[in-house]
């Protein structure tokens, strides 16, 4: 049995009616082993979230549950942990997509923000995605595609990530 099979499933941080749910592709190994979202040392999620104005202070990964206070949640499309998202097959993402869509419908957030184009493209069938708000809702929520804040994603500087996330925050704040 592999070490991955022994890892617990990373719990969702969700409540009905959130303003926005951030959706990663799948948990990283460290996040799954600690039980906290975006736990990797090089992951920029918590810093970007704070700098973009989603939270008044930078949340530590071990305090990820406090994000619910601000009406934001966390989940993943695929529950299986991997060292890199590239270890997931497109078919694995597509298979997980149906259950994920039901989850979004059940929790009914106003927005769902996919962190990276890969998962949204696989489960929506959309190609040639642009960053930002999508024309088609997902699971009854406004869909938004944000750059993945993983430290492995060096295509986006910290400033570029913050600008993209700030645009989403402003849209969420201005939508009743």
Active-site choice (26, 36, 142, 148): 26
Which residues does 45 contact at the CB level (< 8 Å), separation at least 6?
22, 37, 38, 115, 149
Active-site choice (36, 37, 43, 148): 37
Known catalytic residue at 26: yes
Instruction: Give which of 57, 54, 47 is closest to 21, Cα–Cα.
Output: 54
The per-residue b/e assignment along 55-72, b for 16 or more CB within 10 angstroms, e otherwise, is beeebebeebeebeeeeb
Known catalytic residue at 153: no
Instruction: Give which of 88, 87, 73 is closest to 10, Cα–Cα.
Output: 73
Residues 50 and 59: beta-carbon distance below 8 Å: yes
Residue with tokens 């009905």: 16
Distance CA 62, CA 69 (A): 15
Active-site amino acid positions: 26, 37
């Amino acid at each position: 049995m592999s070490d991955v099979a022994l890892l617990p499933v990373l719990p969702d941080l969700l409540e009905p009616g959130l303003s926005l749910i951030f959706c990663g592709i799948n948990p990283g190994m460290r996040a799954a082993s600690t039980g906290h979202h975006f736990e990797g040392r090089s992951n920029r999620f918590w810093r970007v979230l704070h700098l973009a104005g989603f939270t008044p202070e930078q949340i530590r990964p071990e305090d990820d549950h406090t994000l619910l206070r601000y009406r934001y949640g966390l989940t993943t499309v695929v529950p299986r942990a991997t060292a890199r998202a590239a270890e997931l097959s497109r078919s694995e993402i597509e298979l997980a997509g149906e259950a994920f869509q039901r989850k979004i419908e059940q929790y009914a957030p106003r927005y769902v923000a996919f962190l990276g184009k890969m998962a949204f493209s696989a489960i929506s069938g959309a190609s040639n995605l642009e960053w930002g708000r999508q024309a088609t809702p997902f699971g009854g929520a406004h869909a938004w595609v944000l750059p993945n804040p993983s430290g492995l994603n060096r295509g986006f500087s910290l400033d570029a990530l913050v600008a993209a996330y700030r645009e989403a925050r402003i849209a969420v704040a201005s939508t009743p």
